[in-house]
């Protein structure tokens, strides 16, 4: 339904196709994209799915939720563009989304 490109800190890119409603975390873990572990299964409780949203996509993705904020305070390298990829679901206007993986996740 829509493509997402994950760019690792060393520049390696992985582009995968997600079904509508599928989270970026599930897409990454089910396609062996390195750097996203998803240890808690997607309930915003581990922080191992931290991504930085590409600047061109920040407005489309929308603001961080309170549950994400609570978890992200424990993650490394958090910035204003930080999100938990388990909380972002594919939808038509996110086709082509680009996210960057933190240096600590590889
Ligand atoms: Fe655990 Fe996203 S998978 S916080």
| 3-class secondary-structure state, position 14 | strand
**Correct CATH for 2-100 of 3.40.50.720, 3.10.20.30, 3.40.50.620, 3.90.1200.10:** 3.10.20.30
For the chain, the structural domain boundaries read 2-100
From 49, 64, 65, the mutation candidate for ligand 1 (largest count of ligand atoms within 8 A of CB) is 49
How remote is the CA of residue 101 from the centroid of ligand 1, in Å? 14
* Cα–Cα distance, 54 to 66 (Å, whole number): 20
Amino acid 104: pLDDT:
83
**Which residues form ligand 1's pocket by a CB distance below 6 Å?**
25, 38-40, 42, 44-49, 71, 84, 86
* Cα–Cα distance, 22 to 12 (Å, whole number): 23
* Residue 46 DSSP code: S
Amino acid 49: pLDDT:
96
Atom of ligand 1 nearest to the CA of 47: 4
pLDDT tens-digit profile, the chain (106 residues)? 999 999 999 999 999 999 999 999 999 999 999 999 999 999 999 999 999 999 999 999 999 999 999 999 988 899 999 999 999 999 999 999 999 999 887 7
- Whole-structure pTM value: 0.95
Q: How many CB atoms lie within 10 A of CB 71?
A: 22
């Amino acid at each position: 339904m829509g493509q997402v490109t994950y760019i690792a800190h060393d520049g390696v890119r992985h582009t995968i196709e997600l079904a509508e409603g599928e989270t970026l975390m599930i897409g990454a873990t089910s396609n062996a994209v390195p750097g996203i572990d998803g240890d808690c299964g997607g309930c915003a409780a581990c922080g191992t799915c931290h991504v930085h949203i590409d600047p061109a996509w920040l407005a489309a993705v929308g603001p961080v939720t309170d549950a994400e904020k609570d978890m992200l305070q424990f993650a490394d390298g958090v910035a204003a563009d930080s999100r938990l990829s388990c909380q972002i679901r594919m939808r038509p206007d996110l086709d082509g989304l680009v996210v960057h993986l933190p240096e600590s996740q590889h």
